[in-house]
Structure 1
Amino acid sequence: MRAAAAVATAIVLHVLLPGPLLAADEKGQEAFNNNCRTCHSWKEGDNRLGPSLHGVVGRKAGTAPGFGFSGAMKSSGITWDDASLDKFVTNPNGLVPNNNMKPFGGIADAATRKQIIDFLKSNPG
């Protein structure tokens, strides 16, 4: 009987608690889809016009397996973290001149950039 009660409690908590978290995650995925998905995937190994962004946080720029990066990106010396991703998504050419992100000019809205970065951090693929 205790096991059944524990399972029931777990189900109730799962149904009731993740609402706000799911909403934030859904907003992040929506921001990613609206701004990044045309060229990028967040699934591991799914390189498209741009590299997969799976595990991008903590990765050295220009090193995603199986993608042909520009020389500028490979030699940038950047390791992606919240701050460098925010700068890059704000103005890619400002952080890494001569990168291949054209015609993407950046995202001015700080809240949208944060949603995308948080989504990439919480959903590595």
Structure 2
Amino acid sequence: MQVPSWLAGLACLLLGLSPARAEPAGDPQRGEQIYSRCMGCHSLQVNRTGPRHCGLIGRRAGTVPGFDYSAAMRESGLVWDQDTLDAFLAAPMDRVPGTTMTYAGIADPQQRRELIAWLATAAGQCAE
């Protein structure tokens, strides 16, 4: 099914994504499966070893109340959107040297797109 361009643009606006980066979109259902790798340290609702992901899209990095971030993350100046998440998830320690997130990253660009698609959907729907 072809999505009308106005609908894709609206979805991008609502999800905080740039229309140019909206395609190729990831599959949120596959992204949810990929997120299971993250759940040892993260969840949507509560801080664990890593910060919670509720409200992730559009949030400035290092700002979840009650989570003790590294200075590198607090001072990174990043705002989480499709581009910043993609770069960070590809190589967290390269993107934010000094981060305490020791995960090596997700090398496969399609898997990153799918994870980001799921995060954009799920993290925007949970209660803060």
**For this structure pair, what is the TM-score category when the shorter chain's length is used for normalisation?**
0.7 to 0.9
Higher relative contact order (CA 8 A, sep 6+): 2
Separation in 1, partners of 2:95, 2:29:
28
Listed one character per residue, the Cα deviations across residues 31-50 of structure 1 (whole Å, up to 9, x for unaligned) are 111x211110022xx00000
Aligned to 1:92: 92
TM-score, normalising length: structure 1: 0.75
Instruction: Say whether the 8 Å CA contact 1:55–1:120 is kept in structure 2.
Output: no
Q: Which has the higher helix share?
A: 1
Is it true that 1:60 corresponds to 2:25 in the alignment? no
What letter corresponds to residue 111 of structure 1 in structure 2?
Answer: Q
Separation in 1, partners of 2:120, 2:84:
13
Q: 2:32 aligns with which of 29, 35, 49?
A: 29
Percent identity over the alignment is 40
How much does 1:66 deviate?
A: 1.2
Q: Which runs of 5+ in 1 are unaligned?
A: 1-23
How many residue pairs get aligned? The number is: 98
Equivalence map 1:43-122=2 (5 Å): 43=45, 46-102=46-102, 104-122=103-121
Instruction: Say whether the 8 Å CA contact 2:28–2:115 is kept in structure 1.
Output: no
Listed one character per residue, the Cα deviations across residues 7-28 of structure 1 (whole Å, up to 9, x for unaligned) are xxxxxxxxxxxxxxxxx43311
In our comparison, the structure showing a higher alpha carbon Rg is: 1
TM-score, normalising length: structure 2: 0.73
Moved over 6 A (4+): none
Q: Which runs of 5+ in 2 are unaligned?
A: 1-26
